Structure 1
């Protein structure tokens, strides 16, 4: 195996185009659509043709990694001011056929991976007849590519639609977060993809995503947090050292919050309308006595799980009023702790859980007027 490493030289566009045209003439008319990178010493490195985005009447070639795409520059320029500026400067051009009247197509190199660029081109050149930014159940790689490239190429509607999808699962609303299911993540995401969601939130300034995404990272194994998450055709995702430190410090606080919430929910105080005071006090004390047996479950680091299964054995033993009181405590104590989530994580998030705050304030006013 040769130890020679090919280096790509930064050539003047006119010189590069001239060298490429000369090579194509030598290659013959059958090779006129084979694109290449021109390197030192007229070294030609060929790129494989993309099967999905290759339009015979396309008027620009995009080179990403080892892959070439043939698409329409006008559509890309309309969608992205970055592409528009990029296409306005001179680039090497190649003839697309042996005909003298054939159009010369610019060859533009981008630093994106072929897989990431393909996700973007599916949005720019939809083939399904329906114009939408995301598939119904996108993978993390798709969402990540659309947010990163949408941010890079300044396509805000693409970024916003993708962030809106993430907010369905990584929500600042406790009820929405709880309804996301046991996994607390999109259907095609892995647990470790929460690391990527943190990075996407940092990239776009979408701080609303940070608390639930960092919480998900805190619930990962320590080695998983450090190892990061793999991505298809792109470098893996890793948390910054600052975010790793946040997760490390937050784990103890979250475990303590879980114990605090459980004690508040299960405190042996009967409801104001209790119909069997002595009996209910006895059973509520039994509930507190059983808590040490569940220490491992209470210290999982997730203080926002419902505690209803901890007091389910009291259904039928407590009066209806006291059991309803436990259910209400369960909701209210978790909601109160949810508001503190950014503080537990050591971050500031403006407007965090604003809907919950409004709901709590309304509830307090109602209680005050009733009293």
Structure 2
């Protein structure tokens, strides 16, 4: 055997990593190395949660140990192509139930790490927990969207739209995309285009995302205007009107608001969509017309939300929810 080969074999066993100060069990049976950090854990526990590790550890071991296999104090060493921070979050979630609990507020980096590695190593329960959390920030129902500020389990952070979109693409989660695109449509277009242009995804995927968003945004804005401003049309039904001046007030409102551009910081139609009751009172309609107009706008907004995935070239809500584990029967179970 030549000197070069001997040196190569020795280099396999060089300890070029540092044991983690947070995930290191002295009785662990396997050492996972990510970047320059090592985590000593138990193969049986990994196998319980992750199908990939289960299959890996189930493979028959040779009678005679491979002298070239890397070990640490008798433990098998596995070098992984993962972020050490992601792996730390993933392993702590497995070992410590309080670290990332179902239904508890958890920061995005932890949720993202669990989703990424739960997808990669086929840990369905952990992956689903992450999806459940993300869907509270960008939900599938209009009702949940209305109360997301107080109900979301992943606290907001700066520039989160890009981070969520990148994660959804990387892990093939689609159920959060309609709400993400909906939120992005509220951001000034130049800012959104800059954000999409800088997405950390493949160029072809970036183009697909940008095209889907722009086409969907155009459909959404047109549909919102038509729905929110339907009461301004002469043929809008107000059969129970008890105010003699309601038609005149509606005509005056139409003259003042219809020329207002979509690019305005708060176009009138969007104010109508966001605050239908306040808008109806503001233009001083009779009580009956106030209720009729507000109800029309609310119903239109609900219909728009139901169409939201289609605007952006995605399957319907039921398909998206079933695809990503948020089954349509969940609503009935929680009712």
Question: Taking structure 1 as the reference length, what is the TM-score of the superposition?
Answer: 0.69
In structure 2, what is the Cα distance between the partners aligned to 1:189 and 1:107?
Answer: 38
User: SS of 1:120's equivalent?
Assistant: helix
- Tell whether the 8 Å contact from 1:123 to 1:131 is kept in structure 2 after alignment: yes
Residue 242 in 1 paired to residue 196 in 2? no
| Alpha-carbon distance, 1:122 to partner | 1.0
CA shift in 2, pair 1:342/1:123, >3 Å: same
Deviations 1:233-289 (A, max 9, x none): xx999963211221133333333223222321444546322222x222122222222
Partner of 1:340: 307
Partner of 1:75: 45
| Alpha-carbon distance, 1:158 to partner | 0.8
| Alpha-carbon distance, 1:156 to partner | 0.6
- Tell whether the 8 Å contact from 1:47 to 1:66 is kept in structure 2 after alignment: yes
In structure 1, what is the Cα distance between the partners aligned to 2:277 and 2:105?
Answer: 31
- Tell whether the 8 Å contact from 1:257 to 1:303 is kept in structure 2 after alignment: no
Partner of 2:82: 112
In structure 2, what is the Cα distance between the partners aligned to 1:279 and 1:300?
Answer: 22
In structure 2, what is the Cα distance between the partners aligned to 1:353 and 1:125?
Answer: 31
Partner of 1:323: 290
Partner of 1:3: none
Alignment of 1:141-290 (within 5 A): 141-181=109-149, 188-190=155-157, 192-202=159-169, 205-220=172-187, 221=191, 222-228=193-199, 240-267=206-233, 269=236, 271-276=238-243, 278-290=244-256
In structure 2, what is the Cα distance between the partners aligned to 1:258 and 1:343?
Answer: 14
- Tell whether the 8 Å contact from 2:175 to 2:320 is kept in structure 1 after alignment: no
Partner of 2:71: 93
- Tell whether the 8 Å contact from 1:49 to 1:68 is kept in structure 2 after alignment: yes
- Tell whether the 8 Å contact from 2:216 to 2:312 is kept in structure 1 after alignment: yes
| Alpha-carbon distance, 1:210 to partner | 2.4
- Tell whether the 8 Å contact from 1:192 to 1:217 is kept in structure 2 after alignment: no
CA shift in 2, pair 1:302/1:188, >3 Å: farther
Alignment of 1:28-67 (within 5 A): 38=13, 44=14, 46-67=16-37
Deviations 1:133-158 (A, max 9, x none): 45832222211111111111111111
- Tell whether the 8 Å contact from 2:31 to 2:38 is kept in structure 1 after alignment: yes
| Alpha-carbon distance, 1:59 to partner | 2.3
RMSD of Structure 2 on Structure 1 (CA): 3.7
In structure 1, what is the Cα distance between the partners aligned to 2:300 and 2:116?
Answer: 37
* Structure whose alpha-carbon radius of gyration is higher: 1
User: SS of 1:106's equivalent?
Assistant: strand
CA shift in 2, pair 1:238/1:58, >3 Å: farther
The number of residue pairs the alignment matches comes to 303
CA shift in 2, pair 1:320/1:308, >3 Å: closer
CA shift in 2, pair 1:353/1:333, >3 Å: farther
In structure 1, what is the Cα distance between the partners aligned to 2:295 and 2:320?
Answer: 19
Deviations 1:292-349 (A, max 9, x none): 36432339999963444544413xx322111111210120111122222223223333
Question: Taking structure 2 as the reference length, what is the TM-score of the superposition?
Answer: 0.76
